[in-house]
């Protein structure tokens, strides 16, 4: 009996010890008012991650007193964590929905950082020229209504191309992704049937096709499987030299995806961009516009709780939309147009801590 009593005691003691060590180990890095560097934590979208990592390393060289960490956990995670206030800034490829904004503890600002685009890629033997697609054709291929490569509607846009009589295999993202969000947002705008049957979202219910995980999964399956069609981010397509299709835009011109045609989409949409900068720029008007383009955003609270951290966030973002934009082109992102930079400046200037503006 006594042996059991003692072993019970040792269990309790050990349990306490384990609990204590777990507790200490999980200290959430609250440095309190220590005079060390300001620590910022960001998380969210994966698409701008290469650029943000570049920003962090460049900004770190200039400001040794600020330590910033960014984790690319996905837009959904970014929105959730900024709403839970476990991070200092979030990031999302698609603007937050009204109901998400309402359920946040206080007003959240959308700070656009760069632009990206979704491109259509394919694997079709014996076709040398870049394929061209009208919006309704893209929608009907992804709806499964156009089943063969030699369909007269595809042929109508591609005079001279030897299209095979093969079945089209659609490849889409299987993981929830801003890329799918932008693509389905576009398809919902150009096809009423798509809007009604499928709708827009990061993980839609695809009518046909096979799913690949990530850009690399989609690319792998498109490259390996003949007669496939899929979509990936512009950055990814450029780096991997994938064949990309030209898409007919809202003004009736076939446009190749490029940094310039993406910036054109942002510039063309600047006039009807609302005050909070939450805007979808897919299917924009303009001869040079690539229609499947979008902003990516950083999310910050307008009223910052901690003045030191708040100031560090604002300074970092200010640097990002000015000096940081210079790194965009090398990494194949499209930089913000000048008037959007101006309007973003105003947003950053409006950020306060305890009622006091943090910029100057």
Q: Applying CB under 8 A, which residues contact another protein?
A: 2-4, 6-11, 14-15, 46, 73-77, 79-80, 100, 167, 169, 174-178, 181, 184, 198-206, 209-213, 217, 220-221, 224-225
Rounded Cα distance, 23 and 151, in Å: 64
Rounded Cα distance, 352 and 350, in Å: 6
Q: Is the CB of 222 or the CB of 351 nearer to another protein?
A: 222
Least Å from the CB of residue 199 to another protein: 4
Q: Using only C-alpha atoms, what is the Rg of the chain?
A: 24
Q: Is the CB of 155 or the CB of 208 nearer to another protein?
A: 208
Q: Is the CB of 38 or the CB of 73 nearer to another protein?
A: 73
Least Å from the CB of residue 316 to another protein: 24
> How much of the chain is helix, strand and coil, in % rounded to 5?
40, 20, 40
Q: Is the CB of 55 or the CB of 206 nearer to another protein?
A: 206
Least Å from the CB of residue 335 to another protein: 26
Judge whether 289 and 264 are in contact, CB under 8 Å: yes
Least Å from the CB of residue 24 to another protein: 18
Least Å from the CB of residue 10 to another protein: 3
Cβ contacts of 322 within 8 Å, gap of 6 or more: 341
Judge whether 139 and 193 are in contact, CB under 8 Å: yes
Q: Is the CB of 76 or the CB of 324 nearer to another protein?
A: 76
Least Å from the CB of residue 34 to another protein: 33
Judge whether 247 and 120 are in contact, CB under 8 Å: yes
Least Å from the CB of residue 256 to another protein: 28
Half-sphere exposure of 308 (CA within 13 A, CB side): 13
Q: Is the CB of 192 or the CB of 199 nearer to another protein?
A: 199
Burial (0-12, 13-18, 19+ Cβ within 10 Å), 10: exposed
Least Å from the CB of residue 78 to another protein: 9
Cα angle 44-312-333, degrees, rounded to a multiple of 5 = 45
Q: Which residues pair with 112 in a beta bridge?
A: 297
Q: Is the CB of 61 or the CB of 102 nearer to another protein?
A: 102
Q: Is the CB of 217 or the CB of 286 nearer to another protein?
A: 217
Rounded Cα distance, 63 and 46, in Å: 25
Rounded Cα distance, 168 and 157, in Å: 17
């Amino acid at each position: 009996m006594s042996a059991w009593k003692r072993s019970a005691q040792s269990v309790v003691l050990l349990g306490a010890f384990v609990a204590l060590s777990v507790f200490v180990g999980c200290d959430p890095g609250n440095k309190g008012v220590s005079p060390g560097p300001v620590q910022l934590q960001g998380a969210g979208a994966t698409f701008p991650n290469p650029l943000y990592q570049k920003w962090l390393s460049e900004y770190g060289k200039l400001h040794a007193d600020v330590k910033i960490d960014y984790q690319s956990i996905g837009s959904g995670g970014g929105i959730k964590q900024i709403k839970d206030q476990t991070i200092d800034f979030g990031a999302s490829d698609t603007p937050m929905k009204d109901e998400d904004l309402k359920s946040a503890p206080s007003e959240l600002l959308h700070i656009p950082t760069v632009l990206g685009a979704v491109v259509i890629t394919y694997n079709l033997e014996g076709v040398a020229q870049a394929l061209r697609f009208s919006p309704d054709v893209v929608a009907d291929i992804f709806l499964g209504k156009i089943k063969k490569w030699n369909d007269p509607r595809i042929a109508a846009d591609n005079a001279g191309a030897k299209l095979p009589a093969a079945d089209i295999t659609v490849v889409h993202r299987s993981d929830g992704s801003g890329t799918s969000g932008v693509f389905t947002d576009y398809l919902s705008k150009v096809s009423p049937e798509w809007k009604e049957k499928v709708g827009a979202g990061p993980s839609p219910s695809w009518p046909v096709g096979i799913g690949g995980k990530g850009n690399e999964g989609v690319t792998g399956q498109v490259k390996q499987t003949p007669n496939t069609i899929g979509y990936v981010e512009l950055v990814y397509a450029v780096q991997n030299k994938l064949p990309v299709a030209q898409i007919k835009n809202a003004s009736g011109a076939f446009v190749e995806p490029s940094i310039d045609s993406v910036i054109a989409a942002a510039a063309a949409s600047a006039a009807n961009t609302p005050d909070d900068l939450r805007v979808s720029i897919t299917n924009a008007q303009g001869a040079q516009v690539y229609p499947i383009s979008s902003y990516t955003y950083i999310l910050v609270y307008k009223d910052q709780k901690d003045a030191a951290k708040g100031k560090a966030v604002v300074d970092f973002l200010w640097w990002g939309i000015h000096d940081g934009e210079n790194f965009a082109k090398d990494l194949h992102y499209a930089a913000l147009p000048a008037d959007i930079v101006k309007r973003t400046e105003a947003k950053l200037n409006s950020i306060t801590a305890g009622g006091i503006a943090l910029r100057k």
